[in-house]
Structure 1
Amino acid sequence: MKEFAYLYSPEEAAYRFSDSHPFNPIRLELTLSLLEATGALETVDCIVPRRATDEELSLIHDADYIQAVKLAGHGELSPMKAQMYGLGTEDTPLFDQMHESAALLVGGTIEACELVLSGQYRRTFHIGGGLHHGFRGRASGFCIYNDTAVAMAAMIQKYDCRILYVDTDAHHGDGVQWAFYNRADVMTLSLHETGRYLFPGTGMVTERGAEEGYGWSWNVPFDAFTEDASFLQAYRTVLFEACELFKPDLIITQNGADAHALDPLTHLSLTMESYEQIPQIAVEAADRYTDGRIVALGGGGYDWYRVVPRAWSQVFAALTNQSPFHGNLPEEWIQRWQKESPTVPVTWADPVPLYPMIPRRPEIEEKNWETVKRLLWPFIDDSKKEHLSFSSPYSND
């Protein structure tokens, strides 16, 4: 068994709505060129993804929806009909070859999971995956197909496995949650900004699953302006409890980078400190509970130059057993991309301070911990409950 491979094709950049749309595939090129400049790509395998078949897509998506996407991508679907499927909207505008581009992203995530569960690789990273908002019969939130849900359904069908899906995107992983809400073979864990202020408006602690899936849907909705220490305290606590209870065969992580303080679409206040530690903690959990089997995906992230390349490079570092990248960014990368953006960062860490001190910090951190307690209380042993008393993660500041 080999340790690691990443999946990528330049064709994935064809999943592009418009030049002005916040979901810009330049994020992929920026990240991979940064990793290339560090020398990190020289000794690892790159697998070119394939397109998902209609049969695979239909594990999650309705046949009429798949057909509508095909027609829309060839200019053969009326605007009114497209709107019925969530297509041609402000979030998900029409573009040429929509189906072919979206199916490639799905195929990449299927292959990333297949490589791990077949025993060929212990860890994989599909940087173009993680489109977690797509529903059975409609597009939503920049997502045409739900690559993660399709891949999980395909893996369960083939390997009869248990999958823990962990989503740290600032937006609730609603499409994945609802796809498996009634099932006991998938546990979804989403840590995100509260839906009181942010799309899609779901992901409350009370969304715990139904029928056979009761107890296997976990959500941690963070208060706006949550900072690193509070987020990481909740993340580590909840992730390891989820692993203990669910006992997964595979962990899939969605690594949206839009909870960063610089992201233009969200209201959380994470820095690169979190994006160093999130994937390291996930790999630690995989090593302890799944014999190291983990698949990482990309996801959201709309500060293309300053945030996403650094955050996803740290995912790569964790999956390849490296310490987080520190120090200055490669000069050749800086020079290449400064021609396009004056906001290119020069160091792996963020400037300190990145933002003014948040006056509600104590209130926010205590509220977040109460959310963690509400989530875990019905599912953990009484012996563990006494350890859930609130302790400020900033006490040593």
Structure 2
Amino acid sequence: MWDEAVTGYDFGPSHPMDPVRLALTMGLVRAFGLDREMEVRAARPAGESTLRLVHREDYVAAVRAVSADPGAADGSYGLGTVDDPAFPGMHEASALIAGQSVAGAEAVWRGEAGHAVNFAGGLHHAMPGGAAGFCVYNDASLAIARLLELGAERVAYVDVDVHHGDGVQAAFWDDPRVLTISLHEHPRTLFPQTGWPEETGGPAAEGSAVNVALPAGTGDEGWLRAFHATVPELLADLRPQVLVTQHGADTHFEDPLAHLAVSLDAQRAVQEACHELAHSCADGRWLALGGGGYAVVDVVPRSWTHLVAIAAHRPVDPHTPVPASWRDEVYARTRQLAPGRMTDGRMTDGRSPSWRDWDAGYDPADRTDQAVLATRRAVFPLRGMLT
């Protein structure tokens, strides 16, 4: 899903969420010829009825108002804040990104595509009645809500952004049809200060929210261990009809806004795992979204190009040099030097970074293992699963 106009989602030159990351990602996708290996489709902006699947009428009206007159934003509804400053066309750009995710979900559900990617999406902090954390409309929640409207009875959402997927969790807190899984930096040290393992879903949906809160400094081995110690078992238990994943690239060790130490190679390994899980657990139906990521040259374009390539069944070898044409584009747009290869050099014997399987044993002194065990103890019994 791509429309050049998504780069209009622009909070201004001093804001960390620089839309150049989207343009550079699409440039790298094209440089590898991946746009010729899959259908590139644009969708209409999400309309009022679609936005109302998740967002309150008064909030949508407020976004429209500050979109037409940014100077009127006063912080109400989270609009006009440092995180979410108002800008002209805010409603239109936000609705367009949401429309891309909803259309991707529809295409996957209807069998028009096996997989769909909207790397401009993944705006997971927006709440039904307010903007938060650089997010205006919650396209991930809207895509899931549309799947439910179309008849889906079991949807899994896996969020590996460094920040807790709080908006999606909130939207489906009491809905047993939706399983939300979020792996993120511990709320003690990072926005939005939610996503504790004890957050397990509402009274009608206990065990439908899963949170793995990882200690600051967690690197490849711990991050991959946490993913594989929770996500595959939960998806095998649910057998979702559709898998929706959010791939914020801000877990990376170069990201300026967070404190994990994950490499591009580990991010790619999780993307591959999500692809495999879509095929093994969800009949191949997979909607993959972007998310956070503020190392806009060195990390985001490479990470999400790997995501597109995996979804296209045309994976890019991590050792592949970055095309010279794209390096020239990077310099022309940013005056920065582009990375040289599609890897951070963290491959092990030519493979993705390794990790210890959970079955290999629990280390009570390991903080990552403590985090994983806390999650498994909180959620697995609620789902009738062994911890």
Of residues 194-203 and 149-158 in structure 1, the stretch that sits farther from structure 2 once superposed is 149-158
Structure 2 residue 21 is the aligned partner of structure 1 residue 10: no
Aligned to 2:143, the other structure's residue is in SS state helix
Equivalent residue, structure 2, for 1:3: none
User: Residue by residue, what CA displacement relative to the aligned partner does 1:96-141 show, whole Å, maximum 9, x if unpaired?
Assistant: 0111111111111100000000111110001111000001111000
| Cα 1:365/1:149, change in 2 over 3 Å | farther
Of residues 130-139 and 156-165 in structure 1, the stretch that sits farther from structure 2 once superposed is 156-165
| Cα 1:13/1:365, change in 2 over 3 Å | farther
Tell me the distance in 2 between the aligned counterparts of 1:374 and 1:317.
35
Tell me the distance in 2 between the aligned counterparts of 1:285 and 1:350.
25
Pick from 95, 99, 103: which aligns with 1:107? Answer: 99
| 1:8-157 superposed matches below 5 A | 8-75=2-69, 78-80=72-74, 83-157=75-149
| Cα 1:257/1:364, change in 2 over 3 Å | farther
Any conservation in 2 of the 1:226–1:364 contact (CA below 8 Å)? no
| Cα 1:370/1:160, change in 2 over 3 Å | same
1:323 positional shift: 3.6
User: Residue by residue, what CA displacement relative to the aligned partner does 1:256-313 show, whole Å, maximum 9, x if unpaired?
Assistant: 0000000010100001121220110001111111111100001100000000011001
Identity %: 34
| Cα 1:212/1:383, change in 2 over 3 Å | closer
Tell me the distance in 2 between the aligned counterparts of 1:31 and 1:76.
28
Equivalent residue, structure 2, for 1:296: 288
| 1:198-237 superposed matches below 5 A | 198-237=190-229
* AA in 1 matched with 2:249: A
1:384 positional shift: 5.4
Equivalent residue, structure 1, for 2:243: 251
User: Residue by residue, what CA displacement relative to the aligned partner does 1:372-393 show, whole Å, maximum 9, x if unpaired?
Assistant: 12212352699954xxxxxxxx
Of residues 326-335 and 116-125 in structure 1, the stretch that sits farther from structure 2 once superposed is 326-335
TM-align CA RMSD = 2.0
Pick from 271, 279, 284: which aligns with 1:279? Answer: 271
| Cα 1:278/1:364, change in 2 over 3 Å | farther
Tell me the distance in 2 between the aligned counterparts of 1:234 and 1:368.
7
Tell me the distance in 2 between the aligned counterparts of 1:70 and 1:53.
12
Any conservation in 2 of the 1:317–1:325 contact (CA below 8 Å)? no
TM-score, normalization by structure 2: 0.91
Equivalent residue, structure 1, for 2:330: 337
* AA in 1 matched with 2:26: L
Equivalent residue, structure 1, for 2:380: 379
Aligned to 2:40, the other structure's residue is in SS state strand
Any conservation in 1 of the 2:121–2:289 contact (CA below 8 Å)? yes
> Where does structure 1 differ by over 6 angstroms across 4 or more consecutive aligned residues?
362-365
* AA in 2 matched with 1:374: A
Tell me the distance in 2 between the aligned counterparts of 1:35 and 1:18.
25
1:43 positional shift: 2.6
Tell me the distance in 1 between the aligned counterparts of 2:294 and 2:365.
25
| 1:298-313 superposed matches below 5 A | 298-313=290-305
1:166 positional shift: 0.5
* Unmatched segments (≥5 aa) in structure 1: 1-6, 354-361, 386-397
Equivalent residue, structure 1, for 2:260: 268
Tell me the distance in 2 between the aligned counterparts of 1:91 and 1:42.
37
Tell me the distance in 2 between the aligned counterparts of 1:124 and 1:284.
14
Tell me the distance in 2 between the aligned counterparts of 1:53 and 1:202.
30
Tell me the distance in 2 between the aligned counterparts of 1:214 and 1:300.
28
Any conservation in 2 of the 1:28–1:128 contact (CA below 8 Å)? yes
* AA in 2 matched with 1:366: D
| 1:175-190 superposed matches below 5 A | 175-190=167-182
Aligned to 2:29, the other structure's residue is in SS state helix
The alignment covers a number of residue pairs equal to 369
Aligned to 1:59, the other structure's residue is in SS state coil
Of residues 312-321 and 168-177 in structure 1, the stretch that sits farther from structure 2 once superposed is 312-321
Any conservation in 2 of the 1:129–1:299 contact (CA below 8 Å)? yes
Aligned to 2:180, the other structure's residue is in SS state strand
Aligned to 1:211, the other structure's residue is in SS state coil
Any conservation in 1 of the 2:105–2:146 contact (CA below 8 Å)? no
* Unmatched segments (≥5 aa) in structure 2: 348-361
1:20 positional shift: 1.4
Any conservation in 2 of the 1:184–1:212 contact (CA below 8 Å)? yes
User: Residue by residue, what CA displacement relative to the aligned partner does 1:217-265 show, whole Å, maximum 9, x if unpaired?
Assistant: 0011110010001101111221111112222110000010000000010
Equivalent residue, structure 2, for 1:358: none
